[in-house]
Chain A
């Protein structure tokens, strides 16, 4: 800025330049103040979460991460079941959503006629606009009772005696409901981003495959999908970040529980959902602090995942930012 102001006198009348210089100075100061403020808020979020969690961090240390037990009366807290819950729910939902989402994206770009592609894409994007509390509502009042009466009873009777992971009681709400609801929520993210990656595959690559006499499916599955793998991977990492942090839909469908899950039908908590469900029940400062400690763990996990995603996609796309 300083150089701009200094150069100005050579080319412009004195008075006018002074006014323009002042306007630009204010403009620069204003915008930089905003940027500073936003970065300060971001830094503040980290600081506040660390300070809020500090009493619990001091009392339980890193053992908090590997201990089981959640007793607000005797103030004994360990977040292992929630960490395990977060990972299991996120992974389960990711496996379902990645498989179905990628297949759907392939279907849209390779199988559907051109006139159907846009409407189907738009419909699936609509899923992304349904707020998570509505997914929670559907999961709690429709999906969970449905699973309880049908699928879970069948699993308990037929698979339960043979496999320990299926040997649970059909509560309805629990890991299975939460995973299914979360998978539906991740679908639009994976479908739209993978579709974009598939569309960007150059024509030559495709035609090269056909020129070798390959069948359409072999071109799609053997050439186009591998070619678009970077974009697809990016969409998966973004979805993973979303899955780890999803709060209210999981809180409404996972049922709530403080022990490690043994079966797919057990009830439990994830790091985010335990905060949402227990926050208004907090009875002591240490209890609150333990919940914030859960938030801190969640924050660290999601920030790491997102930074990895940012650099991954940036490196792959070679452009600033990326679209979600």
Chain B
């Protein structure tokens, strides 16, 4: 199956030393033509994400953080520079990079189980086997008993859980999450964050998680990549030294407050420095 990538030319196929960087963006720019002017969504951006690492991308709206995720996912191609995953240049979407969108994009005409089973059906897994695996995944994300419910019958948090289960059904090596908890209420959001930590810890997945919520970025990430606007670029790449596994107790760690204060100040400074730019609606 075409997984939307091709071996990187020149560098001999595997330029990356094993166990280090899985995702690599080199000198990546992305511009959009809007009506009569050019929008620089990303400008000469470099970023590496290690295998098994959890990186959160933090920034105000319009900083191109969603575009960054789309580039890694292969939904958009860079105007300049290269994006590579596991040593292969990204040329299109692929099953190795599972995307979880801001709003749960479940198929409303399929039951939860059938939604989760779909990626496996597409792959050619038998219907019964796909259903069996779907039920197991649903149990993993805490949706046992809702296998036959339609998305319209689920709460926002449950829909996001189901969408996550569907993405996991693709058995990706990279999980790309675009503000997946942005639409949830504060309490549900925290519960989902803790659940995601539990799932990730057991999975060995590499995750890029986009958010505009400072607390969320600090709580989840091994690293927080802070982006600035116009043009979209990385203004800071900060390691978060909080113990793993992270649980509800982590939130009370005094270092969390320090990180938050620092990031808050950083964002405020960059917001003041940059010209007001109309928000980009993806």
B and A form one assembly: no
> Which residues of A line the B interface, CB within 8 A?
none
> Which residues of B line the A interface, CB within 8 A?
none
